[in-house]
Structure 1
Amino acid sequence: MLAYPALHASHGGIWVAQGGETRGIGRGEAIRIAADTPVILLNAALIGQRLGYADLSGLDLLELYAFLRPAQFAVPTPKGIARVTGLDLPTEDAEVAPFLLRAAEAMLALTDAADWPEREGAWTAAQSLYRLRWPWAPVVAERLAKPAVNERWLFSKLPEWEEQAPRPAPRTIAIEPGDAEARLDDLTGHGAEERPGQRAYAAAATAAFAPRAMRDSPNLVLAEAGTGIGKTLGYLAPASIWAEKAGGAVWISTYTKALQRQLGRETERLFPDPATRRTKVVTRKGRENYLCLLNLEDALQGGFAERAAVLAQLVARWAAYSADGDMVGGDLPGWLPTLFRRNGSTALTDRRGECVYAGCPHYRKCFIERAARASTDADIVIANHALVMVNAARGRELATRPTRYVFDEGHHIFDAADSMFATALTGGETIELRRWIIGPEGSSRGRRRGLAARLSDLASYDEAGNRAIGEAVAAAGALASEGWLQRIGEGAPFGPIEELLAAVRGLTYARAEQPGDAGYGLETELAEPDPTLIEAAAPAAAALDALVRPLVTLGRRLEAVLSEAPDWLDGPARARVEGAIASIGWRAETVAAWLSLLARVGGPADADFVDWLAVDRVEGREFDIGLHRRWLDPTRPFAEVVLKPAHGALVTSATLTGGGSAEEGWQIAEARSGAPHLTRPAARFAALSPFDYATQAEVLIVTDVKRGDVGALANAYARLIVASRGGTLGLFTAIRRLRGVHGRIADRLAREGLPLLAQHVDPIDTGTLVDIFRDDPGASLLGTDALRDGVDVPGESLRLVVMEGVPWPKPTVLHAARRLAGGGAVYDDRLIRARLAQAFGRLIRRADDSGAFVMLSAAMPSRLLSAFPPGVPVTRVTLDEAVTRVAARLSSRAALRHEAGEPARGPLS
């Protein structure tokens, strides 16, 4: 038995287990024990938060699991650890501490197993971690024997991708009537219950894969499929037929990572054999999601220190076994980076856009390049809206541009396009561009390299190219530099861009700050600018113009290198030049957009855009300043860049029409998907959910909780969660109120044996919070927009949804402009109905689900009730009545489970 104490803390108390004894202790003693002695615990970041001891560290079981079982997920709770170790689950909090000791022994026993699948590389990693003083290293190292021969480890273990001949253009084929339905039968299994709605959906989706009749006129199908229709298999049926017969790839685009993972599982029906599926189905994400091997190498060689260096070693261990190197939503456990709170993993990805492509020593093993090449030969590419738009706007893969798209979660296309085609001339953006061009300055450390270092050997081939690099580096000196926020705050900006940002800040405070301001961000329209801003705009524009010119010149000189094809321009060198051209072109376009925005200062407004000034703050602390521009209708560039070059696209969602009346709903769907900007009208299809909402769900509008009273709001949440015995998703429109409610009810619920999780409170990523919530029917989860739109928790774990109030749109400059153009209050109602429909959609996910949806707002207008499915009963009640009805519904469910012979639910997560 390990000679270390084990510590567990929950909202219900603190316990320590040592020497065969378990006892409850106070917070002060717990901190003293943790500070004096290495302790075994589960999720040090979370335990430290509960103890009020942010620097808590020790023998974290999650870190040990990440070392022993890299690329394997475990729910980071006692229940999750019991599952992966095969131990009995503790039934109450006081039993958790001794359980942690047994779990540590069970995990370490894996090192003695002859068939431990992740043994390779473990000894080498343990030696490195020992030198870094990782708390588990002495325990692990003594159990690992040195390999007889040098073991392969990471960079020598990763496979290399190979160049392939370009894929031919897809053939022109037509899917015959009935073929999609027949393929659907194969996917669902012959003899399965027939679902008419799903079959009709598959037939309607087929139109998106028909041959295109006119240029810039794709076959666009808008399809709303209510929850339970089975739309995923419904569109996979015609998509797989087209890919198979045409020899092309269908890109399926999502908005959430949860749906990407779900799609990956659904494609197992198409290709049951894992080896075949790896070649036929590829998941693609943006570059910033994948581990950069060059950044990792730098971290392992001293670029990281202390705890960050431990994280790098554990990530390296994971990378050797990862399926795709995806650090965000892939097989890297989402909880691993959160254990290193102040030493995040973002530095291990390519978030600065400094990739040198074929100039990288790990280019042939690069996860990003491997995914890009695999997608060119795949049948199904699972991507996301942002990546689809980025690839269409500035992707390098022109020859393999997709011709068929499926946009699942299509109601989010508008929001994704809004972000993609936005312009922001801010201090944060300009300093990132400066770093990309100039490279490290002063005491900067790390692998960061400037434009000259990245391209000097390529540009040396061309004198004009070398000169352009020098001019770009010189011009970048006018951009904001380190310390710019402090200088502006002190009234001493340096350079034309900082002068501009100082003028923006002054005018924003003058026009936007209100008495009693809460310290959140400020913004004001870019209208009637004062003389100071107008005077600052001209030299800023001149500085940006001096920067964009050499960037454009450099891009052209590199294109000339490609056309001249010198002897040294082999395949890898060509790839490197092409990558540089794309990256430089993107930056040049960004600077050109900034210049267009500056031309608006003191000039006429452009009716296509909304422009404003902003000072971004959090809790009163400024973190960015700048000018912003958004398209009034961002689906215009989306239609031009993505839809028009395509041959067919299916836009689908369970809430595509946003809960409006029939014709109005379709007009909303068309307006928010880009259909009005196409010459050919979109086809429409709708299939109602097969669920019996009238008996499976009810909507309760609570009329006696005073708006703005956090104490009353917290009391309402606590009473409802207790009545439901957990299983509650609490949705908030403001993080401040979420934190206020959580702080008031967490201990109260703990005394009832009901765990409470909270986004923006618990030091756990959102995906892992949902995994914990899904795994424990007694837990409840509080969150904001991300949980309203992206949670799929069928079954017993989600039986109550509580919203703090009507999700009114935030009154911003951008919203005001779109509201004016969209019909005023009617526009607001559309947004609110869509949000309510999404929130309600979390509740009923399958035919045997049931539950209640509670709105804590007496001000809920009746005109918005059409957001809920037809037939669902809506009742206005007091809080007491709501609590009684929720408890009665729980009792009814428990009775049904008892009759069915289901086991009782455990109380501990």
Structure 2
Amino acid sequence: MLPYPALHASHGGIWIASEDGTQAVSRGEAIRVAAETPVLLLNAPLAGQRLGYADLSGLDLLELFAFLHPARFAVPTPKGLARVAGLAAPERDEDVAAFLRTATERLLEVPAGDWPEREGAWTSLRSLGRLRWAWTPLLADRIAAPKENERWLFAKLPEWEETAPRAAPRTVTIDAAETADRLARLTGRDAEQRAGQRAFAEGALGAFAPRVARDTPNLVLAEAGTGIGKTLGYLAPASLWAEQAGGAVWVSTFTKALQRQLSAETARLFPDAATRKARVVTRKGRENYVCLLNLEDALQGGFGGRAAVLAQLVARWAAYTADGDMVGGDLPGWLPTLFRRNGSTALTDRRGECVYAGCPHYRKCFIERAARASAEADIVIANHALVMVNAARGRETTTRPQRYVFDEGHHLFDAADAMFSVALTGQETIELRRWLLGPEAGGRGRRRGLAARLTDVASYDELGGRAIADAVEAARGLASDGWLQRLGEGAPFGPIETLLAAVRGLAYARAETGKEADAGYGLETELAEPTPELIEAAGPAAEALDALVRPLVGLGRRLEAVLSESPDWMDAPARARIEGAVASIGWRAETVAAWLSLLSRIGGPATPEFVDWLAVDRVEGREYDIGLHRHWLDPSKPFAETVLKPAHGALVTSATLRGGGDWEVAEARSGARHLLRPATRIEAASPFDYAAQAEVMIVTDVKRGDLGALANAYARLIVAAGGGTLGLFTAIRRLRAVHGRIADRLAREGLPLLAQHVDPIDTGTLVDIFRDDAAASLLGTDALRDGVDVPGRSLRLVVMEGVPWPKPTVLHAARRLEGGGSAYDDRLVRAKLAQAFGRLIRRADDRGAFVLLSAAMPSRLLEAFPAGTPVRRLTLDEAVARVAALPSVGQNVQEAAQDA
């Protein structure tokens, strides 16, 4: 029998189970027991939050599961744990504590059986034991020492191999009949043939036709309603083109959820797992993958305390992972949150510090392996940000894609806005300083400065060595550690900090001082009519940046010269390392040049193509960054120049591509209007019967700004629906306030409530939990409006707190003026409403309601909803009655009860 009690805390109560049985306890008693005795827990941070005891610790079953089954996923709930352990799920909240003891016993039996992840466990457990990991005593006698030395992690990982460059894709024309046949194979010969899907696939062919002239890609804009099956619709012609042309099609998404879905769908293309692994590759930014050099540093003492335990568990995972993806891959999203994300980001390359071939693990690097695999793949599943980064400054110039499919195309504008923007801020400059100088004032870690990374070049090339020294010296003029405190005290150090101090002063002087500012949110003001202090500070700052960019540009040229000279010491790894340095230096030189361009705006004329402003970024009144910002007024223009024009063809598709408006909206936000050749338009209406499957209710008697009334409305609607509710908010503050008022109330009804920005769980895992429990409800903000795909009974009601009007920022004001005033606002709102409504009906047997808690909903915005959808304006009482009476609600609640 286990010597430890189990603790379960929820909004419904607190229970402790021991050998003597289960008893309900008070919050104070639970905290006392947990402080005095090791306790079994499921998700300690969440339990600690429910107890109001942030320091809660114990034997977390999720940590045990991550050790025993690295690279496997389990929904981090009692029901999810029961499923993977082969146990019956607890029926009531008060049964969970006793279940945790049973589940612990079952998991501890795993090493005695046929355990696929046995290799490396003994070695890892010894390291965890030295870190006093709570599970070590219970596992020590169950995991025997191996008979011979284990191949562990760095010895276990396979090496990638160099291959000859892939030939350029052939020019081919895909036949429509072949496309229809391929689509039939993908959907299944016996499946119902959908006319809309066939028409979509045929229309998508245009993106794969031969290009007729330089800088004139074949662009197809396709709005495909929910239920069309657009994924298979575009995979049919894409796979045919890749097969016949011998090239790769890059399929780009905005959300990680769609990336996972796409990866699963490709099993229809390549049923054999080995073939699929070679022909389909998922690519993400470097910051998503575990960096083996950072991981090695963490394992060798770079981390301490709980962060060191996380590093050991990540090492267990790294030995079994399919692709090394820590964000959205096979590392459970809940694992870093168990450690309050302490150290997880330090295990990836977030600062662009990769030394490429200079790394001892270069031949085993997950990032390099994915890059090389994508060069030989048929389908590369990427994301909008990576596509734009690679096009703008990627190293893989010889394998640049010719064909793109941009799924979730309605997000292209926002992705381009983030990619092509400029931010001269304290945080950005201090990161550049660290990249150039390395550790300062006793700093620790493996980070090395530019001089240390290029010592061989400095010794070989005198001009290169001088450029390195000049760049390092100029970097000392950038912001350094403690800059925020110095600015707050009025004692900036150096020209950049002096500039930031002037920015801060002007932002406070001119920014709006309404409720948002009083609440501690960020401040901003347009860069117009600058004060003498700001103008005076801009000159020395520009001189400091100019002193930095000149040696960086010169160093890049010298490195290119060294590459062409190929000295005797330059073997293949050294060449690859210098090529990587050239790319990194070029990127940073471009960044500094953009900062200089922004500074030239101070005291000078405005540039019509850009929007410039000053900002002080704050969270709950605490400043965390200060600086100047520049965004393109129309970021689709650099997107078209950088990504679309070099391509031969591209398909941009989404269920809400027009955002409830006309085709001009889609063309303006996709970059189509910046191309010489007009885009082809395709529209495939959803096959769903929205008149019978859904309805929109606009509640007219919930007073705006009354948090009590808002919380009451959410609670009554969720109870009426029996859970299964997605609640969407436009402000985190209101989300938290509503959650705090209704969570306990719903728990007494047996209805769990999850909340983004409240629960210490990553968003992807929150959606997984929501999908897994038909009685659960989930509150969230914009990320949930776009990234939730929950078909079936788990989502039967969507509630929005109000009309999602855009926030009146400096950038929005400029685009609003350019885009037609209130008509521009209406287009944005319709798009958000259409995306939110799109969460509700995901398949033909779904039923549900969309409720908007706002009497001020203009009729002109109702075009956002699919034609034929019933729209009613009614009181809250009437809406609650209609939700309770919906056929799907009664059916779903009954099915949920039967499942339980």
CA distance in 2, matches of 1:39, 1:550: 59
CA distance in 1, matches of 2:784, 2:71: 25
Pairing partner for 2:714 from 711, 714, 717: 717
Q: Could you report, residue by residue, the CA deviation over 1:675-732 in whole angstroms, capped at 9, with x for unpaired residues?
A: 0100000000000000000000000000000001111000000000000000000000
Q: Residue 815 of structure 1 aligns with which residue?
A: 812
Are the counterparts in 1 of residues 303 and 343 from structure 2 also a CA contact under 8 Å?
no
- Runs of 4+ displaced beyond 6 Å: none
Is the aligned partner of 1:30 residue 2:41?
Answer: no
> What are the residue-to-residue correspondences of 1:416-435 with 2, within 5 Å?
416-435=415-434
Q: Residue 568 of structure 1 aligns with which residue?
A: 569
Q: Could you report, residue by residue, the CA deviation over 1:356-394 in whole angstroms, capped at 9, with x for unpaired residues?
A: 000000000000000000000000000000000000000
Q: Residue 229 of structure 1 aligns with which residue?
A: 228
Aligned residues: percent identity?
79
Q: Residue 904 of structure 1 aligns with which residue?
A: 897
Q: Residue 871 of structure 1 aligns with which residue?
A: 868
CA distance in 1, matches of 2:820, 2:512: 28
Query: Matched residue pairs, number?
Result: 898
Q: Residue 68 of structure 1 aligns with which residue?
A: 68
Deviation at 1:575, TM superposition (A): 1.3
CA distance in 2, matches of 1:478, 1:638: 33
Residues 532 and 903 of structure 1, relative CA distance in 2, 3 Å threshold: closer
Is the aligned partner of 1:301 residue 2:303?
Answer: no
Is the aligned partner of 1:208 residue 2:207?
Answer: yes
CA distance in 1, matches of 2:341, 2:207: 47
Deviation at 1:2, TM superposition (A): 1.2
Q: Residue 439 of structure 1 aligns with which residue?
A: 438
Residues 417 and 895 of structure 1, relative CA distance in 2, 3 Å threshold: closer
Deviation at 1:893, TM superposition (A): 4.7
Q: Residue 827 of structure 2 aligns with which residue?
A: 830
Give, as a single letter, the amino acid of the residue that structure 1 aligns with 2:345. T
Q: Could you report, residue by residue, the CA deviation over 1:408-429 in whole angstroms, capped at 9, with x for unpaired residues?
A: 0000000000000000000000
Are the counterparts in 1 of residues 40 and 101 from structure 2 also a CA contact under 8 Å?
yes
Secondary structure of the residue aligned to 2:176 is coil
CA distance in 2, matches of 1:814, 1:150: 60
> What are the residue-to-residue correspondences of 1:106-117 with 2, within 5 Å?
106-113=106-113, 115-117=114-116
Is the aligned partner of 1:588 residue 2:589?
Answer: yes
Give, as a single letter, the amino acid of the residue that structure 1 aligns with 2:741. R
CA distance in 2, matches of 1:697, 1:146: 60
Secondary structure of the residue aligned to 1:684 is strand
CA distance in 1, matches of 2:886, 2:639: 46
CA distance in 1, matches of 2:458, 2:281: 35
Is the aligned partner of 1:894 residue 2:887?
Answer: no
Secondary structure of the residue aligned to 2:16 is strand
Q: Residue 218 of structure 1 aligns with which residue?
A: 217
CA distance in 2, matches of 1:127, 1:444: 29
Is the aligned partner of 1:347 residue 2:323?
Answer: no
Is the aligned partner of 1:650 residue 2:647?
Answer: no
CA distance in 2, matches of 1:45, 1:595: 45
Is the aligned partner of 1:613 residue 2:617?
Answer: no
Secondary structure of the residue aligned to 2:726 is strand
Are the counterparts in 1 of residues 883 and 889 from structure 2 also a CA contact under 8 Å?
no
Q: Residue 622 of structure 1 aligns with which residue?
A: 623
Q: Residue 801 of structure 2 aligns with which residue?
A: 804
Give, as a single letter, the amino acid of the residue that structure 2 aligns with 1:7. L
CA distance in 1, matches of 2:655, 2:514: 43
CA distance in 2, matches of 1:591, 1:502: 19
Deviation at 1:179, TM superposition (A): 1.4
CA distance in 2, matches of 1:568, 1:157: 30
CA distance in 2, matches of 1:344, 1:771: 24
Are the counterparts in 2 of residues 777 and 905 from structure 1 also a CA contact under 8 Å?
no
CA distance in 1, matches of 2:268, 2:135: 41
CA distance in 1, matches of 2:572, 2:846: 56
> What are the residue-to-residue correspondences of 1:298-377 with 2, within 5 Å?
298-341=297-340, 343-377=342-376
CA distance in 2, matches of 1:858, 1:359: 62
CA distance in 1, matches of 2:513, 2:419: 31
Is the aligned partner of 1:737 residue 2:737?
Answer: no
Please report the TM-score for the alignment, with normalisation by the length of structure 2.
0.99
CA distance in 1, matches of 2:377, 2:231: 18
Deviation at 1:568, TM superposition (A): 2.8
CA distance in 2, matches of 1:552, 1:213: 37
CA distance in 2, matches of 1:906, 1:738: 30
CA distance in 2, matches of 1:519, 1:175: 57
Q: Residue 400 of structure 2 aligns with which residue?
A: 401
Are the counterparts in 2 of residues 338 and 344 from structure 1 also a CA contact under 8 Å?
no
Is the aligned partner of 1:747 residue 2:744?
Answer: yes
CA distance in 1, matches of 2:546, 2:352: 22
Give, as a single letter, the amino acid of the residue that structure 1 aligns with 2:474. A
Deviation at 1:23, TM superposition (A): 0.1
Q: Residue 122 of structure 2 aligns with which residue?
A: 123
Are the counterparts in 1 of residues 79 and 89 from structure 2 also a CA contact under 8 Å?
yes
CA distance in 1, matches of 2:858, 2:594: 42
Q: Residue 636 of structure 2 aligns with which residue?
A: 635
CA distance in 1, matches of 2:50, 2:444: 35
Q: Could you report, residue by residue, the CA deviation over 1:397-448 in whole angstroms, capped at 9, with x for unpaired residues?
A: 0000000000000000000000000000000000000000001001311111
CA distance in 1, matches of 2:882, 2:70: 46
Give, as a single letter, the amino acid of the residue that structure 1 aligns with 2:225. G
Are the counterparts in 1 of residues 253 and 259 from structure 2 also a CA contact under 8 Å?
yes
Listed as ranges, the gaps of 5+ residues in structure 1 are: none
Q: Could you report, residue by residue, the CA deviation over 1:35-84 in whole angstroms, capped at 9, with x for unpaired residues?
A: 11110010000000111111111100000000000000000000000000
Deviation at 1:458, TM superposition (A): 3.0
CA distance in 2, matches of 1:895, 1:853: 18
Are the counterparts in 1 of residues 719 and 749 from structure 2 also a CA contact under 8 Å?
yes
Deviation at 1:314, TM superposition (A): 0.1
Q: Residue 773 of structure 1 aligns with which residue?
A: 770
Q: Residue 256 of structure 2 aligns with which residue?
A: 257
CA distance in 2, matches of 1:723, 1:444: 57
CA distance in 2, matches of 1:896, 1:146: 51
Deviation at 1:192, TM superposition (A): 1.1
Segment drifting more, 480-489 vs 133-142: 133-142
Is the aligned partner of 1:862 residue 2:855?
Answer: no
Q: Residue 597 of structure 1 aligns with which residue?
A: 598
Are the counterparts in 2 of residues 616 and 622 from structure 1 also a CA contact under 8 Å?
yes
CA distance in 1, matches of 2:482, 2:797: 48
Deviation at 1:453, TM superposition (A): 1.1
Deviation at 1:906, TM superposition (A): 4.9
Q: Residue 465 of structure 1 aligns with which residue?
A: 464
CA distance in 2, matches of 1:567, 1:515: 66
> What are the residue-to-residue correspondences of 1:153-172 with 2, within 5 Å?
153-172=152-171
Is the aligned partner of 1:683 residue 2:693?
Answer: no
Q: Residue 557 of structure 2 aligns with which residue?
A: 556
Q: Residue 77 of structure 1 aligns with which residue?
A: 77
Are the counterparts in 1 of residues 128 and 136 from structure 2 also a CA contact under 8 Å?
yes
Segment drifting more, 569-578 vs 193-202: 569-578
CA distance in 1, matches of 2:824, 2:512: 27
Secondary structure of the residue aligned to 2:587 is helix
Are the counterparts in 1 of residues 796 and 889 from structure 2 also a CA contact under 8 Å?
no
CA distance in 1, matches of 2:82, 2:504: 54
CA distance in 2, matches of 1:702, 1:461: 74
Is the aligned partner of 1:764 residue 2:761?
Answer: yes
Is the aligned partner of 1:89 residue 2:82?
Answer: no
Secondary structure of the residue aligned to 1:343 is coil
Deviation at 1:897, TM superposition (A): 8.9
CA distance in 2, matches of 1:687, 1:177: 17
Give, as a single letter, the amino acid of the residue that structure 2 aligns with 1:95. D
Secondary structure of the residue aligned to 1:154 is coil
Q: Residue 243 of structure 2 aligns with which residue?
A: 244
Segment drifting more, 602-611 vs 570-579: 570-579
Residues 163 and 117 of structure 1, relative CA distance in 2, 3 Å threshold: same
Q: Residue 54 of structure 1 aligns with which residue?
A: 54
CA distance in 1, matches of 2:513, 2:40: 50
CA distance in 2, matches of 1:252, 1:213: 23
Secondary structure of the residue aligned to 2:570 is coil
Are the counterparts in 1 of residues 793 and 892 from structure 2 also a CA contact under 8 Å?
no
Deviation at 1:904, TM superposition (A): 3.3
